[in-house]
Structures are given as C-alpha cells and as structure tokens.
Amino acid sequence: MTVAGQYGVVARLGTTQTLAWASTYYLPALLAAPLATELGLPITQVFAAFTLALVVSALVGPRAGRALDDWGGRNVLSATSGLFATGLAALGMVHTEWQMWAAWALIGVGMGSGLYDAAFAAVVRLYPVNARTAITGITLVAGFASTVGWPLTAWWIESLGWRGTCFAWAGLHLLLGLPLHLSLPKAARESTSPVPQAVLESPAPQASPAAPRWMMGGLASVFAITWFTSTAMAAHLPMLLQMQGLTASAALGIAMLVGPAQVMARVLEFGLLRHVHPLHSARLAAAAHPLGVLAMAVFGPAATWLFVSLHGAGNGVLTIAKGTLPLVVFGPAGYGERQGWLMAPARFAQAAAPALFGMAIAHWGGAALWLTAGLGLATVFILQGMAARWQH
C-alpha cells in the first residue's frame, strides 16, 4: 500500500479511537453526576459500574485479540462500533440500578475489543514493517480525545441532557465510526516471520532464546504499573495539586497540561525517537514521572507544572510502547491475542487504581505521590533488565 494509503488508515483509526475514548473512558467524569441524581443513586455507584466496564474489558481482551488475528481489524472494529452504539444507547435508556450496571458491562465489552490494543493489532496486520510509525500516528491523533470529548459532552449535557448525550455518542459511532471502520483495507494473511529491522528503524541486537517467556511477564508488569499510575493521576491529579498549595482553578489549569504534554512527546517519538529502540525510549518515559515528583519535592508548588508536563510526556510515550514493545520482542504472529493477554493485568490495575490510590491519599495526603514515583522506578529497573537480556 502507498504511503498516502497508510496515512489515510492512520487518520481513520486515529479518528475512531478519539471517538471511542471520548465516549467511554472520559465519559463518567461529566456524566456520572447527572445520571446519579436522576436515578437517585450515590455517584460512587456510577463509578463502580464504570469499574465493572474496565474489568469486563480485561476479561474480553485476549479473545478479542484472537479475533483480530483471525479476522483482521476491519471486521472486528466494525462490530465494535455497533457494540459501543448499543451500549451507549442502553445507558441512555436506563431507569434502574441494575440496568445501569448492565449497560456499562456492555460498554466494557466494546472497550475490551475497540480501544488502542485493537487499533494497534489492526495496523500490525496491515503494516508489519512500518507498524511503529502507524501506532505512533494513531496515538498522536487520539491524544486529543479528552480535549475534544469533555467539551462536547459538557455541551450536549447542557443542551440535550445526559440521556441525549448518550444517544448522541451512540449516533456518532454509527454515522462516523462504523463507516470509517468499514472503509479499512482487508488485512493480508498473518505473517509468521520475525519483525524486519525496518520496524525498529534502527539496528537492534537479537533476543536470546530464553528471553521471550521472561519478557512476557516483564512487559505485563510494566504495562500494569504504567496504567495504574496513569489512571490514578487521571482520577486524582487536580486534588493532588491542590494538596501542594495551589488553588482549585490553578490546579485544574496545570492539570490540563497533561494532554498537550502527551501529544508533544508523541510528536518527538514520531520524529527523533523513531530511530531509538523502543526499550530505550520506554525507559526514558518511565523515569519521567519519578523525576517530576522529585522536582516538586525539591522546588515545591513552583514545580507543579514541570511534574505534570513530565508525567504527561512519559505517559504519552509509554502508550506507544504498549503497542511497539510486544511487536519488537515477539514479532507480528499472534500479536492481537498476545496483546490481549499482556494488557489484561493492566486493565485490572486500571480498574483498581482510583480506589486504591484514593486510599493512599487518605492515609498519606500529597505524599502518596511517592508511591507512584516508586512504581515508576520499578518500571525503569524492569525495562533495564529486559534491555540487558535483549543484548545478551
């Protein structure tokens, strides 16, 4: 396929990923309060139902990945558009608590088969040689999901109500997401050959025969830790910044730097870091959050913007690493199913992160950031060990 054709696929998947993330992962932040009020439920029940969606997505991931390997991204992602639309429409029609839980569980099936892992598997099937560039491009576009999603959700809630908002997102999946997925090219037969050096766009040593099994656990641990930290920050960052002495408005303003920092880091990955082995760029990214915590500990509230920027930049590159590292280490054969298993612990960690880190904040206050800093350092050491095994 031509370069222009590949860019077209990346643009389509980047658009549908923006739609998928905005209408699911970023939806409860604004939808939970009006939904809970109308149903007469504590808002914690709505977030608990969203946690169920994340757990369901973890359970669905491996089987969805196998389906992507067998049938290709066009078929699976098109079906996922229907799942998202059905789940969101069902959420817009709930009148009881159990109906809300059922709707979120259905949305969770869509999340397990239609978010980044599925898009990454789709481009690996289509472009095993240039998958790293395609994965980076998708995350670059979809990095604006919260920037687009939150204002649009807020506008719809104001003008259509929370039920109309659910229906509007469902309609977009059918009117925009489904046609874009159906327009994807058919995947070629799955490759069983090793990943060519062109995937890395830089020379790379060969893995030792014993490395893959050990690296499977290492990658699963890295992804679980990084998703825990990412989700914990997404849920609690403004409050944590207020604990550093900022006003509520200042904390919110600085917290919004996460999105631009993610996108800028992905631009860097697309440019300069495309010639760096993913293990090396992942180590740099994993060190960013701990360095930000250290800067804030040394310089106080004046360094909060630096902490947020480093956290966002590291998270932006690590999102790409979740797609490229398994490809580089294990090759394209069985990528979708393997990705499902690798990311299952990460999805469970993601589901538990808001509650567990909230407990840490309750006990330690702002010092809870040392927990995520320690986890970040552990990630650096795991990646360092993987790099050493890769080289020997």
Per-run averaged pLDDT (10 residues), the chain, 392 residues: 73 94 87 92 87 89 84 89 97 96 96 88 81 83 81 91 97 97 77 43 41 76 92 81 85 81 81 73 92 94 93 89 82 80 86 84 89 95 81 54
Which residues contact residue 175 at a Cβ distance below 8 angstroms, ignoring those fewer than 6 apart? none
DSSP category for residue 217 = H
Locate CATH 1.20.1250.20 in the chain: 3-182, 202-391
At residue 274, the pLDDT reads 66
DSSP category for residue 175 = I
At residue 333, the pLDDT reads 78
Dist. CA 222–CA 232, nearest whole Å: 15
At residue 52, the pLDDT reads 92
At residue 206, the pLDDT reads 42
Dist. CA 288–CA 376, nearest whole Å: 8
Task: Let me know: does 85 contact 293? Beta carbons within 8 Å.
Answer: no
The fold adopted by the segment(s) 3-182 is Growth Hormone; Chain: A; (1.20.1250)
Size of the chain, expressed as the number of residues it contains:
392
Q: Is 132 left (phi over 0), alpha (psi -120 to 50) or beta?
A: alpha
The end-to-end CA distance of the chain, in Å, is 36
Dist. CA 40–CA 82, nearest whole Å: 29
- What are the angstrom distances between the C-alpha of 301 and each of 245, 287, 337? 6, 20, 44
Residue environment code for 341-378, b if the CB has 16+ CB neighbours within 10 A, otherwise e: bbbbbbbbbbbbbbeebeebbeeeebebbebbbebbbe
Q: Identify the CATH number of the domain defined by range 202-391.
A: 1.20.1250.20
At residue 188, the pLDDT reads 59
Residue 266 has which token pair?
A: 């992905």
- What are the angstrom distances between the C-alpha of 243 and each of 115, 237, 289, 299? 33, 10, 18, 15
Residue with tokens 């799942």: 83
At residue 194, the pLDDT reads 43
Radius of gyration of the chain from Cα atoms? 20
CB burial of residue 12 (10 Å; 0-12, 13-18, 19+): buried
